[in-house]
Amino acid sequence: MNQAFICDAIRTPFGRYGGALSSVRTDDLGAIPLKALMARNPQVDWAAVADVIYGCANQAGEDNRNVAHMSSLLAGLPLQVPGVTVNRLCGSGLDAIGTAARAIKAGEAGLMIAGGVESMSRAPFVMPKAESAFSRNQAVYDTTIGWRFINPLMKAQYGVDSMPETAENVATDFKIERQAQDRMALNSQMRAVAAIEAGHLAREICPVTLPQKKGDPVRVSADEHPRKTSLEALAQLKGVVRPDGTVTAGNASGVNDGACALILADEATAAKNGLIPKARVVGMATAGVAPRIMGIGPVPATQKVLVQTGLTLAQMDVIELNEAFAAQGLAVLRLLGLHDDDARVNAWGGAIALGHPLGASGARLATTAINRLHHSGGRYALCTMCIGVGQGIALVLERV
């Protein structure tokens, strides 16, 4: 079996909802890291790319009609390079990497691009068709995040809890204290600020230049979401699900815009194209859980990928756990037998600080994990995420 290596990885800054990147169409946003990869690797025969696989969770607006291929074309990749968009909601970008790696391992591809994109700012409102002629009833759904066009059978059998509601369910079921959630949120912010100041995140970001109607273009080169805060400030925030709830805007991930792309290749193809492998994709696994507590999905997914790869959590030098909510992040850590403040987890900040543009987040986890491995000299990294409607995904990387 061939081995699949990640040879380069780059992402845009992650913008706030309605922020600096909100004027960029989703397909244009997805093209930005692809262009950056092409500029950084001019020696690559881009016509040899077997496929471009992008994760995207929305696909109801400018990301419709296969945003992976549209972004590929807009980036200037050769016409003969195909593209496919995958949707495993929050896990889409990580799934794209695992899917590309599987094709390479199987010998069906030698060179692939994987990643993801999401513009949550530009997610449209959608309307269902009328159920009868001259109907006077009409609904409008916001596609930014969460359920729409709900199936009554799904609601009756599994519930259709909103994302914050699922986090509150996890907090209640697994007794995750509000104070612990705020501590995780504060740590995420502090670590992100420290990583930015140390230049760690700048190395994985390609700046975005935004033309203006008047004046010079605006250059966006840093994540917008991180902010300095304190436990006292976080403690003052009210619950977003109910007033006495523990899930707040301060201990939840953001609603964001961003894109990320990675080059994957087998050893021979990498050498032929002048690429230097940075990490080997050891394995990927997914698992299902009850939708109402979707946040614990990383637990069975991690357990599956460790069995698959024959590795243990103790061997993981880097852990990138997507902080959809502090409540679910802490539940995952505790169920896996890890301490709340395990130094391996999100050392450069997590989604609470950096943001969570759904389809791009998994690719960002892998990008950061690779950079952390090379910075620390560690060997193995675990990237894992919870997924709406009740799933988890986990991927293991090995530094090369």
- Annotated catalytic residues are 90, 356, 386
Is the CB of residue 286 less than 8 Å from the CB of residue 390? no
Task: Specify which residues 239 forms β-bridges with.
Answer: none
Which amino acid would we find at residue 334?
R
Sign, CA dihedral 98-352-25-369, equals negative
User: What distance in Å separates the CA atoms of residue 72 and residue 333, rounded to the nearest whole number?
Assistant: 37
Which uninterrupted H or E stretch holds 280? strand 279-288
**Burial group, residue 54, by CB count within 10 angstroms (0-12, 13-18, 19+):** buried
* 179-197 residues labelled b (16+ CB within 10 A) or e (exposed): ebbbbbbbbbbbbbbebbe
Give the other-Cβ count within 10 Å of 247's Cβ.
28
Sign, CA dihedral 186-187-189-190, equals positive
